[in-house]
Amino acid sequence: MGSSTPLLAVEELSVVFGGRGSDEVRAVDGVSFTLEEGKVTGLVGESGCGKSVTSLALMGLLPPRGVRVGGSALLNLPEGEVDLLKLSPKRMRDLRGSRLAMIFQDPLSSLNPVVPIGRQVTEILNRHRGMRGSAAEKEAADLLQRVGIPDPERRLKEYPHQLSGGMRQRALIAMAVACRPRVMIADEPTTALDVTIQAQILELLKDLVTEEGTALLMITHDLGVVAGLCDDINVLYAGRAVETAPRAPLFAGPTHPYTVGLLGSIPRLDAPRGEPLTPIRGSVNDNIAWHDGCAFAPRCDHYTLECLEGPPALVHTDDGVHAYRCVNPVRHADVADRAVLESPSVVGDEEESA
């Protein structure tokens, strides 16, 4: 974590859905993280942990009624700090697309099927950069070229269904970077894609972050993607961050039993075969409310009676970068012998120790 002021500082974000006559649902329950220039911050968790709702809240895309959003999200702009959660819809519209951009999971349903790609890309240029006619078209072609779409002039005239899945996701990324946003939110950008295409898209995102200095919030369920891309990682469970750390300490010494469980659940390509996986018991539905205790306790192997005495506090380790929300964490010595397996090299990296 650098000494510079963060680009976006999210503090105690909470989103509560409440319907008349039904119990309210705390989808996000006090999540804090920061985004910094040229860095990738990851939000990891399984379905229902509140990661997508977090992104929608930041972009101001939640419906106006039936939702209570709390906390603050301070965006650092040249003209001063603004709180994204308190902006007027009109001001938010100006920021969305120009300063904040979002890449959604399903590229087919986030593109308009009856409008050519070209018009969808120039629309943004038109709205935020005031470009018209052939200038906008040329810029759109440049953008498509930049995200690796061959033959951009032809593609601009085509409709979303004529593009392959990977190409659609590239077009969406082109639209997201059209105004050189300071903050980009990618919500599961590669989940709908094949692995070889996923590798291409991740490489593209990595380049954009290093070249443009954009801050990227990467939302995913795939710890493998996180390991390759993210600088700082927040593991979410039932709406709260249960572990926060830079990626190297997180993968070397996962501390929260949930993180340990997630890592134990993934079959690894480079691990010796035949070792049984160590899954987490039960399902995401087996949790208790955070104010009664740790929501993960019903599925936890490290669970003690202390876990049920109120919400566990966020504990910071001595080095100050690693934090976890657990009263009975997994000691590093316990995981050292199973998490850091001597892995055979993946396709020709024998010179690793050089």
Residues that bind another protein (CB under 8 A): 46-47, 148, 150, 164-167, 194-200, 202-203, 221-228, 247-248, 251, 261-270, 273, 276-280, 283-285, 343-349, 351-354
For the packed helices 165-177 and 195-212, what is the interaxial angle rounded to 10 degrees?
10
CA distances to 37, 199, 337 from 344, rounded to whole Å, are 35, 21, 16
By beta-carbon proximity to another protein, the closer residue of 38 and 264 is 264
By beta-carbon proximity to another protein, the closer residue of 156 and 245 is 245
CA quadruple 225, 340, 287, 33: dihedral, nearest 10: -50
By beta-carbon proximity to another protein, the closer residue of 140 and 263 is 263
Q: How far is the CB of 174 from another protein (least distance, A)?
A: 16
CB 312 within 8 A of CB 326: yes
Q: CA 122 to CA 178: how far, in whole Å?
A: 9
By beta-carbon proximity to another protein, the closer residue of 78 and 267 is 267
- The DSSP code for 52 is H
Q: How far is the CB of 347 from another protein (least distance, A)?
A: 5
Q: How far is the CB of 260 from another protein (least distance, A)?
A: 11
Q: How far is the CB of 169 from another protein (least distance, A)?
A: 11
Q: CA 158 to CA 119: how far, in whole Å?
A: 10
Q: How far is the CB of 128 from another protein (least distance, A)?
A: 30
Residue among 22, 55, 26 at smallest CA distance from 219? 55
By beta-carbon proximity to another protein, the closer residue of 195 and 313 is 195
Q: How far is the CB of 160 from another protein (least distance, A)?
A: 15
Q: How far is the CB of 330 from another protein (least distance, A)?
A: 16
Residue among 250, 213, 212 at smallest CA distance from 231? 250
Q: Give me the half-sphere count of Cα atoms (radius 13 Å) on the Cβ side of residue 190.
A: 21
By beta-carbon proximity to another protein, the closer residue of 35 and 223 is 223
* Number of Cβ atoms within 10 Å of the Cβ of 24: 11
By beta-carbon proximity to another protein, the closer residue of 181 and 254 is 254
184: which strand partners?
101, 216
Q: How far is the CB of 218 from another protein (least distance, A)?
A: 12
By beta-carbon proximity to another protein, the closer residue of 122 and 259 is 259
By beta-carbon proximity to another protein, the closer residue of 32 and 259 is 259
CB 184 within 8 A of CB 176: yes
Q: Which region, left, alpha or beta, applies to residue 41 given φ > 0 means left and ψ of -120 to 50 means alpha?
A: beta
Can you give the length of the chain in residues? 354
Sheet architecture: strand order including 8-17:
25-35, 8-17, 67-77, 80-83
In sequence order, the 6+-apart residues with CB closer than 8 A to the CB of 173 are 103, 147, 189, 201, 204, 205, 208
Q: How far is the CB of 312 from another protein (least distance, A)?
A: 20
